A and B are shown apart, each in its own frame.
Chain A
């Protein structure tokens, strides 16, 4: 990647995606600057995880583009994109540790496979990464022997192994108790300050979003409805934003006729 480039680190342009017939992302536009922490906030099924998966090309869009600096993610040949992927770390929702390997081997895998480093160096780097996320002494454990929070930390250590410029988090606090979740949040803040990485976090936890975000993008039904700093989002008058902030449930009011029809008609 060219160092002198000073445009947005990640630029999503008019992204449209379908799963089968279902529209998941509807003309999404988003710019994420270098060094900033962007939190993508939204309810379940709004397409926020799908958007994140597009950034590392685990999904292909129907149309539209994603640019990492100047590289078009969607149209790069596999080989070249894999070089780019080395500079992106991703923490999956379930941590996605390789269950057949020890924690140490998990963290060391990208270093062993993608670099020519000596085994002794790799071991030291692995220890450093595990130390960084507060997990020393569990090198020889298998992933199944760790708690959910520890797995997340180990997954983060693996994502950090290649010293990425961009770090992607898919629901980092999902399934964790509030204390552990807050621990992950402060870890993200610490990393952000220490390494000046560009961080993209997908979450539905508002407390977490307002703690770590430089900017927040709110999503609903495959669309980005508001983007702004935490203060701007808090002050926003957008009905959905207010609904989300105030935790108002979705209106269930239905037209009586339409309801009757939906019960009696078969739609397949």
Chain B
């Protein structure tokens, strides 16, 4: 019995430590991103732009391809039910609203967590193992400013962009289905989508994507800094960065969806 209690206690403590570590990193990053530059401490724009290319631009093909397929799948599944009621016309609305409100941000987050979150963890973790982080600190350079802030900035700017592309690709996937299966023309489908969508659908999706971007960066970098014990530790942290960030993304998704539902 005491064993069970001790186990629960240890797990809870571990969870609290993780949360406080994550909070600490978030606070430091926020300081170095939004406060320090106005005190003349500068920002690493060069490496931020590099990160934007790596984490944002290079993710474009895979994000748009996956979203395109998901949009098409959604159209298939929607049509399967809607056609029973002769409401095939509403497939466009279904695809448009689901992509912008939910699936665009979510798919982008999952792809980016797998591509970039893991690479953040691996990069910082390897630097930790090879004493490079210590070397930075020993020179008097702040490791958060040099390593986390560029990634954070890149993600804050790139996640909404990728999400918009994802929204569009998904809708395009639905359009292809609409044209070939529902005998609609391109302009009919686009008009139907436009009628169904309101600005709020897109903006709530973009708000979510920002939050997801923050989560992925923070978890990836935190896992990187938490690496201990050589190559094996880097592997473990990389894996858990993806698992934890996808879990937290879904949790945040639930929270924000509920929030937008009750406040609309």
A81 to chain B, nearest CB (A): 8
Residue pair A99, B140 in contact (C-beta under 8 Å): no
Residue pair A94, B139 in contact (C-beta under 8 Å): no
Which of A83, A98, A114 is within 8 Å of B132, CB to CB?
A: A98
- For B44, the closest partner residue in chain A by CB is A113
Interface string of B80-104 (1 = CB under 8 A from A): 0000000000000000000000000
Residue pair B135, A96 in contact (C-beta under 8 Å): yes
Residue pair B139, A85 in contact (C-beta under 8 Å): yes
Does residue A192 face the partner (Cβ distance < 8 Å to B)? Answer: no
A83 to B126, CA, bound (A): 27
Does residue A88 face the partner (Cβ distance < 8 Å to B)? Answer: yes
- Listed residue (B126, B130, B140) with the most chain A CB atoms within 10 angstroms of its CB: B140
Does residue A46 face the partner (Cβ distance < 8 Å to B)? Answer: no
A158 to B130, CA, bound (A): 16
Residue pair A83, B140 in contact (C-beta under 8 Å): yes
Residue pair B138, A56 in contact (C-beta under 8 Å): yes
- For A155, the closest partner residue in chain B by CB is B135
> A residues 35-75 with Cβ under 8 Å of B?
53, 56, 58
Residue pair A82, B135 in contact (C-beta under 8 Å): no
- For B135, the closest partner residue in chain A by CB is A96
Residue pair B131, A109 in contact (C-beta under 8 Å): no
- For B141, the closest partner residue in chain A by CB is A113
| A residues in contact with B126, CB < 8 Å | 99
B123 to chain A, nearest CB (A): 8
Does residue B137 face the partner (Cβ distance < 8 Å to A)? Answer: yes
Residue pair B138, A94 in contact (C-beta under 8 Å): no
What total of chain A residues lie within 8 Å of the partner, measured CB to CB? 25
Does residue B195 face the partner (Cβ distance < 8 Å to A)? Answer: no
| A residues in contact with B132, CB < 8 Å | 96-99
Residue pair B140, A114 in contact (C-beta under 8 Å): yes
Which of B127, B138, B141, B142 is within 8 Å of A90, CB to CB?
A: B138
Does residue A27 face the partner (Cβ distance < 8 Å to B)? Answer: no
Residue pair A94, B131 in contact (C-beta under 8 Å): yes
Does residue B134 face the partner (Cβ distance < 8 Å to A)? Answer: yes
Residue pair B135, A98 in contact (C-beta under 8 Å): yes
Does residue A86 face the partner (Cβ distance < 8 Å to B)? Answer: yes
Interface string of B141-160 (1 = CB under 8 A from A): 11000000000000000000
Q: How large is the interface on B (under 10, 10 to 19, 20 to 34, 35 or more residues)?
A: 10 to 19
| A residues in contact with B130, CB < 8 Å | 94, 96, 99
Interface string of A152-164 (1 = CB under 8 A from B): 0000001000100
Residue pair B137, A58 in contact (C-beta under 8 Å): yes
Residue pair B140, A58 in contact (C-beta under 8 Å): no
Residue pair A93, B139 in contact (C-beta under 8 Å): no
| B residues in contact with A110, CB < 8 Å | 139, 141
Does residue A244 face the partner (Cβ distance < 8 Å to B)? Answer: no
Does residue A92 face the partner (Cβ distance < 8 Å to B)? Answer: yes
Which of A78, A86, A88, A92 is within 8 Å of B131, CB to CB?
A: A92
| A residues in contact with B135, CB < 8 Å | 90, 92, 96-98, 158
Residue pair A96, B134 in contact (C-beta under 8 Å): yes
A96 to chain B, nearest CB (A): 4
A93 to B132, CA, bound (A): 11
A92 to B135, CA, bound (A): 8
A98 to B130, CA, bound (A): 9
- For B131, the closest partner residue in chain A by CB is A96
- For A87, the closest partner residue in chain B by CB is B140
Residue pair A92, B134 in contact (C-beta under 8 Å): yes
| B residues in contact with A85, CB < 8 Å | 138-140
B42 to chain A, nearest CB (A): 9
A50 to chain B, nearest CB (A): 13
- For B136, the closest partner residue in chain A by CB is A98
A residues sitting closer than 8 Å to B (CB atoms) are 53, 56, 58, 78, 81-86, 88, 90, 92-94, 96-99, 109-110, 113-114, 158, 162
Can you give 30 contacting A-B residue pairs, CB < 8 Å? A56-B138, A58-B134, A58-B138, A81-B140, A84-B140, A85-B138, A85-B139, A85-B140, A86-B140, A88-B138, A90-B135, A92-B131, A92-B134, A92-B135, A92-B138, A96-B130, A96-B132, A96-B135, A97-B135, A98-B132, A99-B127, A99-B130, A99-B132, A109-B141, A110-B139, A110-B141, A113-B141, A114-B139, A114-B140, A158-B135
B residues sitting closer than 8 Å to A (CB atoms) are 126-127, 130-132, 134-135, 137-142
**Which 7 residue pairs across A and B have the least CB separation, nearest first?**
A82-B140, A85-B140, A96-B131, A96-B135, A90-B138, A92-B131, A110-B139
With A84-B140, A92-B131 already in contact, 15 other A-B pairs whose C-beta atoms are closer than 8 Å: A58-B138, A82-B141, A88-B138, A90-B135, A93-B131, A94-B131, A96-B131, A96-B134, A96-B135, A98-B135, A99-B126, A99-B127, A109-B141, A110-B141, A114-B139
